[in-house]
């Protein structure tokens, strides 16, 4: 149950989110069953939600990371959205390359190795899925993870 897994993952990050005044919201309530490596999918969600928290705007009021899960035929789409720093268009693909970090996050002194999204992409692709993002600087970022439902038995 992907929804349950995401809920559990978000709970484990709640403390960090609270300390940064970022509100975590899981918009999906109903279970979505897929065949996947729980530990690895948890690792992907952890990095994506962590990124949403890490790259939030310090001075902003209503900071959030929202997750939505939607079943679409034999696929499931996970959306992780934040209203944080955002990523300039020229880096939308680059951020999935190892060790790549956007210069502005370095200015904000946010710690990281630049491997999270690279690892997420590998895990998602090994499951037969895709990952991409939409983002606008100073507005926010949405990362999309599409996974095949797989064998539900």
Hunting for tokens 């994506």 — which residue is that?
Answer: 48
d(CA 84, CA 148): 29
- Decide: 65 and 52 in contact? Cβ < 8 Å: yes
Q: Number of C-alpha atoms within 13 angstroms, CB side, residue 44? A: 32
32 or 63, CB closer to Mg ion?
A: 63
State yes or no: residue 83 binds Mg ion (CB under 5 A).
no
d(CA 38, CA 5): 8
Among 3, 9, 51, 83, binds ligand ATP (CB under 6 A): 51
Strand blocks (E) in 6-139: 22-26, 63-72, 75-82, 130-136
Rounded alpha-carbon distances, angstroms, from residue 109 to 13, 55, 73, 137: 20, 10, 42, 17
List binders of ligand ATP among 91-130 (CB under 6 A): 95, 101-102, 105, 112-118
State yes or no: residue 51 binds Mg ion (CB under 5 A).
yes
State yes or no: residue 47 binds ligand ATP (CB under 6 A).
yes
46 or 60, CB closer to Mg ion?
A: 46
State yes or no: residue 148 binds ligand ATP (CB under 6 A).
no
Stretch of 7-15, 19-27, 79-87, 123-131 lying at the interface with ligand ATP (CB under 6 A) = 79-87
List binders of ligand ATP among 17-36 (CB under 6 A): none
1 or 58, CB closer to ligand ATP?
A: 58
Choose among ligand ATP, Mg ion, none what residue 131 binds, the Cβ cut-off being 5 to 8 Å by kind.
none
State yes or no: residue 86 binds Mg ion (CB under 5 A).
no
Hunting for tokens 């559990």 — which residue is that?
Answer: 8
* Binding region for Mg ion (CB under 5 A): 47, 51, 116
């Amino acid at each position: 149950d992907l929804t349950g897994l995401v809920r559990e993952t978000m709970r484990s990050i709640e403390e960090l989110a609270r300390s940064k005044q970022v509100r975590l919201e899981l918009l999906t309530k109903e279970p979505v069953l897929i065949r996947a490596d729980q530990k690895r999918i948890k690792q992907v969600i952890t990095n994506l939600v962590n990124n949403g928290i890490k790259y939030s705007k310090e001075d902003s009021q209503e900071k959030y990371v929202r997750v939505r899960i939607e079943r679409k035929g034999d696929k499931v789409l996970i959306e992780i959205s934040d209203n944080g720093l955002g990523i300039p268009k020229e880096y939308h693909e680059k951020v999935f390359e190892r060790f790549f970090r956007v210069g502005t996050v370095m200015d904000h002194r946010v710690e990281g190795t630049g491997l999270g999204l690279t690892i997420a992409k590998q895990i998602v692709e090994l499951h037969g899925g895709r990952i991409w993002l939409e983002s606008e600087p100073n507005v926010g970022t949405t990362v999309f993870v599409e996974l095949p439902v797989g064998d539900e038995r």
